[in-house]
Structure 1
């Protein structure tokens, strides 16, 4: 017998495209009423569908979160919030020395503080339903490559917050799950590549001399991973399963690269891992040298 989920809500932030949109569609297909967080009205018009209700949600804007709370509180069908999928995010890649502080703050505002704000707002509902929080982290939340200081810093912090929250909520029967994707074909990766190229152009001549080749190698590597990465629809299946299965694991990886790197990070000494990461990047330096 198929269970009905028509009386259950799921909030998915960052649902305009990529993994967020695919996850929202997958959960809606499974019968949940999905409140799909988007930042623009044109994205809302695109994603709207059966069991899919777009809501304007920039997680860095308190008024958007307050409006979401009001929407759930006054749900016309008196549906319960079953889960929150924290998927919204941006990618900012540049060397620690060269990345302006306002960009560091923007990265943490979106990839950490916005998620915390949304979790705090949704937890009263999740306590009532004994629901679940699913935080979309990254393999970058376990391994920080060069130029990923800000992005990985926010993801490492999200992993720590998730661990603390899981232990705090366990006695109250609210579950916390972390998803760690590797290379996935998403628009966010493409936007991150575009931003990285802009940062190269904005570096001082000395910074460009120090880091320009590294940045280009990272851009080349990210571009290659985007072409060969896991489709967003496949990633959505992992996220949807983690959101709905009765007894979820505390962590899931997406993609072979994420599975391998997260395991290696636990067993290899730092210097050995440094050499492995450098070796994996080396072919993309060669591309840079011949262009």
Structure 2
């Protein structure tokens, strides 16, 4: 088994859960210190930046040269970075950074390991998000990368099915990890660079996003609970094409399927506005009466 992004959070919990179930897990970490904290029976940390070709080549060599000749049963594409901010003020370089990790890095890992997965008729588990199905104000860059990952997963599932390789998507909602907070530092940088006109448009949204993220995360499940669902996606004999983590994610994904867009917009915007500064106005209401 390979789990990328296993330094902390869901990735680390998934590596531990799979090891607990008797599998040998190659756990991709960014630093030696992360690997030392994770190392345990059944878990072999490997230094892995999924955007680094040398790291990918070393991983392939490790899989192909496994001393016990174990086949690669599954790849869990979990690595990722958070992002938040209005479309207009998010620089293109930031868009590219987000997609480089959240999309292109996963494609690179998958391409590199497909020969081994084809030999073993293994499984690819792509960790998406509720934002892969539902986007809202302030979450566009991150949601776009996850929407793209959903599309790649659908195509890959159909391309590899004739060869016996299964592709599964996992869509978490709020999960209590460190990841949510790490994306907010860049949000403050975006805010500082906004023009007065942009601040008038998005100031309240940008100020409200940290509180919204914190509330969504607090209401979520633990990494250990999420890991149990991911493990099911890895080992279920006849897996579903998608697994949802968390009651809120389930509600939002179902709502996105059946509710009209305008109604869904009103729901998500209303929830966001609860986190706006008290003195901010409601631009949607103002625009409606203009």
* C-alpha deviation, 1:33, in angstroms: 0.5
CA root-mean-square deviation: 1.4
TM-score by length of 1: 0.94
What is the rounded CA distance, in whole Å, between the counterparts of 1:27 and 1:285 in structure 2?
A: 41
Give the structure 2 partner of residue 187 of structure 1: 178
**What number of residue pairs does the alignment pair up?**
281
Q: Can you give the 5+ residue segments of structure 1 that lack an aligned partner in the other structure? A: 1-9
Question: Residues 288, 229 of structure 1: CA spacing in aligned structure 2 closer, same or farther, 3 A cutoff?
Answer: farther
Measured in 1, the distance between the counterparts of 2:146 and 2:251 equals: 18
Counterparts of 2:98 and 2:261, CA distance in 1: 25
Cα distance change, pair 217–19 in 1 and its aligned pair in 2 (3 A): same
Report what 1:6 is aligned to: none
Q: CA deviation at 1:288?
A: 6.9
Counterpart of 2:116 in structure 1 is 125
Per-residue CA shift, 1:173-222, capped at 9, x if unaligned? Answer: 11000000011111111102233233222323332222111112121110
**2:276 matches 1:285:** yes
Change (3 A) 1:212 1:74: same
How far apart are the structure 1 equivalents of 2:214 and 2:6? 22
**Residue pair 2:28, 2:45 contacting (<8 A) in 1 also:** yes
- What residue is the counterpart of 2:40 in the other structure? 49
Where in structure 2 are there 5+ consecutive unaligned residues? 281-290
Deviations, residues 146-189 of structure 1 (Å, cap 9, x unaligned):
11111111100100000000001111111000000011111111
Using the size of structure 2 for normalisation, the TM-score is: 0.94
Distance 2:102 2:110 in 1: 13
CA displacement 1:14-51 (0-9 Å, x = unmatched): 00000000000000111111000011111111111111
Which whole-Å CA distance do the structure 2 matches of 1:46 and 1:195 have between them? 27
Please state if 1:229 is matched with 2:229.
no
